Homo-oligomer: A and B are copies of this chain.
């Protein structure tokens, strides 16, 4: 069902040639290495990315449907921020201000379904548990990398601040912690387990990160996913990739209400115990 590689390459060229229409006008520095790694492979190209951000939005006073044009940006930061800046931004609220931490988001178009499956495994194993595929009837396959790691705190009503500066300071710390953990998930190397140790790894050993796992997976695909142009796969690398899939299968089994209870809600600050 995959389109030809020629068609895919045309889509890729068209997309990457477009000017970045984002508010920032460029790929976020902290996501650049992931974006570059993916775009260097002919079977992938990225269509959007955001490394993560802390935002303060001012919505209109209650009473009707929220329209995009009625919202105002009071504050935005792609790095950890200072509570003084948030307090200052909050003073400009005239409606319903909401503080949000939004984690890393990445959309990747993939040539074949197998390519998207591989990327999905990598994303879920890196802690981006709300990742998923979109498959269009025209053959476009998009993998969206999404986290469950968020923060969404309403702070004002009718322009009136509902909390004290001390609480805003506390929230700033929380948002900054989530930002740092988000960055670690994207690219930092923290006790990355050796191939073959994944199955019995402890919670602290599961600090697997998207970039490392992606690098490993792209160069060590299991036999039935491997392409002619890929480098030779060593037995150790095969085990590494097989472990990625084992974990994924484990996660797919018997998803229940109870599982949501345990995994989504208990992981208040962190999902580091994802595979423990």
Beta-carbon contacts under 8 Å, A112-153 to B: 113, 116-117, 120, 130-138, 140, 142, 144, 146, 150-153
What number of A residues sit within 8 Å (CB to CB) of B? 87
> Min CB distance, A62 to chain B, in Å?
8
**In the complex, residue of chain B having the shortest beta-carbon distance to the beta carbon of A46:** B255
> Min CB distance, A161 to chain B, in Å?
10
Of the listed stretches A84-92, A192-200, A262-270, chain B binds A262-270
Of the listed stretches A19-27, A210-218, A227-235, chain B binds A19-27
A6 at the B interface (CB under 8 A):
no
A40 at the B interface (CB under 8 A):
no
**In the complex, residue of chain B having the shortest beta-carbon distance to the beta carbon of A268:** B59
Would B254 and A18 count as touching, CB distance under 8 A? yes
Would A150 and B150 count as touching, CB distance under 8 A? yes
**In the complex, residue of chain B having the shortest beta-carbon distance to the beta carbon of A249:** B136
Residues of B within 8 A of A269 (CB): 59, 62, 66, 96
**In the complex, residue of chain B having the shortest beta-carbon distance to the beta carbon of A261:** B23
Would B152 and A55 count as touching, CB distance under 8 A? no
Residues of B within 8 A of A66 (CB): 266-270, 272-273
Would B130 and A130 count as touching, CB distance under 8 A? yes
Report the separation of the CA atoms of residues A98 and B266 in the bound assembly, to the nearest whole angstrom: 10
Would B133 and A135 count as touching, CB distance under 8 A? yes
**In the complex, residue of chain B having the shortest beta-carbon distance to the beta carbon of A18:** B254
Q: How many copies does the complex hold?
A: 2
Would B100 and A55 count as touching, CB distance under 8 A? no
* Known contacts A152-B152, A269-B96: A254-B47 contact under CB 8 Å: yes
Would A152 and B150 count as touching, CB distance under 8 A? yes
Report the separation of the CA atoms of residues A144 and B204 in the bound assembly, to the nearest whole angstrom: 28
Would B266 and A57 count as touching, CB distance under 8 A? yes
Would B65 and A272 count as touching, CB distance under 8 A? yes
Q: Could you list 7 examples of A-B contacts with CB < 8 Å?
A: A20-B257, A22-B258, A24-B257, A59-B269, A65-B203, A65-B204, A68-B263
| Contacts A50-B257, A134-B252 known; 11 new A-B pairs at CB < 8 A | A18-B254, A48-B257, A55-B265, A66-B266, A67-B203, A67-B273, A68-B263, A68-B273, A71-B268, A117-B137, A130-B146
User: Which A residues form the contact surface with B (CB < 8 A)?
Assistant: 1, 15, 18, 20-24, 28, 47-50, 55, 57, 59, 62, 65-68, 70-71, 73, 96, 98, 100, 102, 105, 107, 113, 116-117, 120, 130-138, 140, 142, 144, 146, 150-154, 157, 162-163, 166-167, 170-171, 174, 203-204, 224, 245, 248-249, 252, 254-270, 272-273, 276
